[in-house]
Amino acid sequence: MQVLPRLVLAHAGCTCEAEDAVEDGAGSDEVATLTARVVAGDDTGALAYVESLLAHGMPAERIFLDVLGGTARRLGDLWNSDACTFPEVTLGLWRLHRVLRALSAAFECEVEHQQEPLPVLLVPVPGEQHTFGLSVAAEFFRRAGWVVWDAPVPTRSDLVAMVRDEWFAVVGLSASCECRLEALASCISLVRRESCNRSIGILVGGRVFAEHPEYVSRVGADVAALDARQAPVQAQHLVAALAHRT
């Protein structure tokens, strides 16, 4: 569950028809506006626009899921349709990450934290390039009071070292496509074998699991996150279930 949300982005872009062909639905106008700004390289304007949405009463949660997430998906569509170049989309996603970080404090203030903070490790499968959705999920975990570790883990050896040395209640791994499933299954097997928490929970996420829920058991995970908002709730339920199992 990308532990992650279905916010599967794409690659990168800039000189594109950014204001065209945005899907209908909640946030479509906002997505069109923000997409145009990030692909044009307008860092200041992108942040100012999102801050104006917040100032006019749009909940930070909706901004994260519908506006930022929608813009990430839109950038992916622009790349897939050759409307933007790879460097343009990459820089656009980088600007979205900056906006995400700038709003983090306001987002965390919206709800109360859980009583017992638990550590969670959120990482993409080594080699996975699509990480914006994972970053959004990390913000939802922080807001729920989890202690989030989401630094890059470049290799399986790094991942093994992390779970050996640090106690995590849950590890969340994301994968964007079926081509990553074998690597994901291998990582999950290693985490379970090497973790200092013998009852560690494994959460997975990404579009591939939304389209094929049966892949959750195939890779050896416990559950797939429905979206970024639900990921911390599902992780908490998983921890409770594992506690009753031991």
pLDDT at 23: 41
What's the pLDDT band for 133 if we cut at 50, 70, 90? confident
Same fold, 28-108 and 119-245: no
Query: By C-alpha distance, which of 141, 145, 214, 205 is closest to 172?
Result: 205
If you average pLDDT over every residue of the chain, what do you get?
A: 84
Q: Domain residue spans in the chain?
A: 28-108, 119-245
For 65-98, give the DSSP string.
IIIIHHHHHHHHHHHHTTSS-HHHHHHHHHHHHH
Task: Write the pLDDT tens digit of every residue in 19-50.
Answer: 343 343 445 899 999 999 999 999 999 999 99
DSSP, collapsed to helix, strand or coil, labels residue 227 as: coil
What's the pLDDT band for 193 if we cut at 50, 70, 90? very high
Phi, psi torsion values for 220, nearest 5 degrees = 85, 20
What's the pLDDT band for 131 if we cut at 50, 70, 90? confident
Task: Write the pLDDT tens digit of every residue in 116-128.
Answer: 789 999 999 887 7
Give the domain 119-245 fold: Rossmann fold (3.40.50)
For the whole model, what pTM was predicted? 0.80
Give the domain 28-108 fold: 1.10.1240
DSSP, collapsed to helix, strand or coil, labels residue 22 as: coil
